[in-house]
């Protein structure tokens, strides 16, 4: 009788412990209002907390979820707090700084420090090596002082004396975001994040554009290499 009670007690304790380690799949909350996102998380035995609400984007409605961490589809222990970034109620207009005749590096710094993003960088033949010649967004030419929404991607046209390819593209597949960025910087190239959580240490680059060029020059200095991040198994499947 004593051993039966002991066994039942042990099973009850074990069940209580393991119940706390049950895993839930994080739902996609993109575009939901905060109340709707919290309710959906509650239905999945998860919690939600606002991480940031200072940015604005036109991709989703105001006061709705822009980003989440962990990302949708991730596995998390029940009760885990999911961090949410909420779109601002109103957009913020930024006055475009002087970018023409600035170096590309200076232009990038001035844009990002004001909450704007670097879009496409196009090189054209010009004696003004490395200097910004034009600034555009959505195909429209933007003069200095133009009012643009915070978070807008700004395209730059940059002068280049020699248009022949000068750089090879390294193979960064399977690398974490920080490792890939470091390798590209050493190669004279820049990284452009396209998908996946750059802070998640378990995600790796499973796709890159342009592809690995095996030492052949295919692009110019400071060219952008686009990367997509995903779980290890995505990369392994492609192998």
Is residue 6 domain-resident?
A: no
* Alpha carbons 30 and 56: distance in angstroms, whole number: 14
For residue 129, give the CATH number of its domain.
3.30.10.20
The pLDDT of 74-93, averaged and rounded, is 85
Residue 235: is its pLDDT beyond 60? no
CB burial of 32-43 (b: ≥16 within 10 Å; e: otherwise) equals: bbbeebbebbee
Specify the residue for token string 């170096």.
103
Helical residues (DSSP H) of 44-130, grouped into ranges: 104-113
* Alpha carbons 231 and 220: distance in angstroms, whole number: 30
Is residue 10 domain-resident?
A: no
Q: Kindly state whether residues 58 and 108 are assigned to the same domain.
A: no
Domain edge (last residue) among 160, 183, 215 = 160
Give 53 or 198, the one with higher predicted confidence: 198
Domain edge (last residue) among 109, 140, 160 = 160
Instruction: Give the residue numbers spanning the domain of 101.
Output: 93-160
* Alpha carbons 129 and 110: distance in angstroms, whole number: 19
Poorest-pLDDT segment among 43-47, 209-213, 217-221 = 217-221
Residue 233: is its pLDDT beyond 80? no
Domain edge (last residue) among 69, 86, 103 = 86
Is residue 19 domain-resident?
A: no
Q: Kindly state whether residues 154 and 196 are assigned to the same domain.
A: no
The answer to whether 207 touches 227, Cβ cutoff 8 Å, is yes
Is residue 75 domain-resident?
A: yes
The pLDDT of 1-7, averaged and rounded, is 42
Is residue 13 domain-resident?
A: no
* Alpha carbons 184 and 105: distance in angstroms, whole number: 16
Give 21 or 133, the one with higher predicted confidence: 133
Q: Kindly state whether residues 151 and 174 are assigned to the same domain.
A: no
Mean residue pLDDT across the chain: 83
* Alpha carbons 185 and 172: distance in angstroms, whole number: 12
Q: What does the DSSP assignment read for 78-98?
A: TTPEEEEEE--SS--EEEPPP
Q: Kindly state whether residues 192 and 176 are assigned to the same domain.
A: yes
The answer to whether 122 touches 155, Cβ cutoff 8 Å, is yes
Domains contained in the chain, number: 3
Q: Kindly state whether residues 147 and 187 are assigned to the same domain.
A: no
Residue 234: is its pLDDT beyond 60? no
Q: What is the pLDDT of residue 10?
A: 45
If we measure between CA atoms, which residue out of 71, 69, 70, 74 comes closest to residue 25? 74
């Amino acid at each position: 009788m004593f051993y039966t009670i002991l066994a039942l007690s042990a099973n009850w304790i074990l069940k209580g412990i393991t119940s706390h380690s049950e895993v839930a799949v994080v739902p996609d909350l993109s575009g939901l209002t905060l109340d709707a996102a919290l309710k959906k998380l509650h239905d999945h035995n998860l919690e939600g907390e606002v991480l940031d609400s200072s940015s604005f984007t036109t991709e989703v409605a105001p006061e709705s979820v822009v980003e989440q961490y962990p990302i949708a589809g991730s596995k998390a222990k029940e009760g885990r707090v999911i961090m949410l970034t909420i779109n601002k109620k109103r957009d913020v207009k930024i006055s475009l700084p002087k970018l023409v005749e600035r170096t590309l590096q200076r232009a990038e710094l001035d844009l990002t420090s004001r909450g704007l993003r670097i879009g496409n960088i196009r090189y054209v033949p010009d004696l003004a090596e490395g200097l910004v010649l034009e600034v555009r967004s959505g195909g429209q030419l933007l003069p200095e002082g133009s009012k643009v929404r915070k978070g807008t991607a700004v395209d730059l046209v940059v002068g280049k004396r020699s248009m022949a390819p000068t750089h090879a593209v390294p193979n960064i597949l399977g690398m974490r975001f920080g490792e890939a960025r470091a390798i590209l910087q050493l190669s004279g190239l820049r990284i452009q994040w396209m998908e996946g959580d750059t802070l998640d240490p378990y995600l790796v680059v499973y796709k890159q554009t342009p592809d690995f060029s095996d030492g052949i020059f295919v692009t110019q200095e400071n060219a952008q290499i686009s990367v997509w991040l995903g779980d290890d198994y995505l990369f392994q499947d492609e192998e």
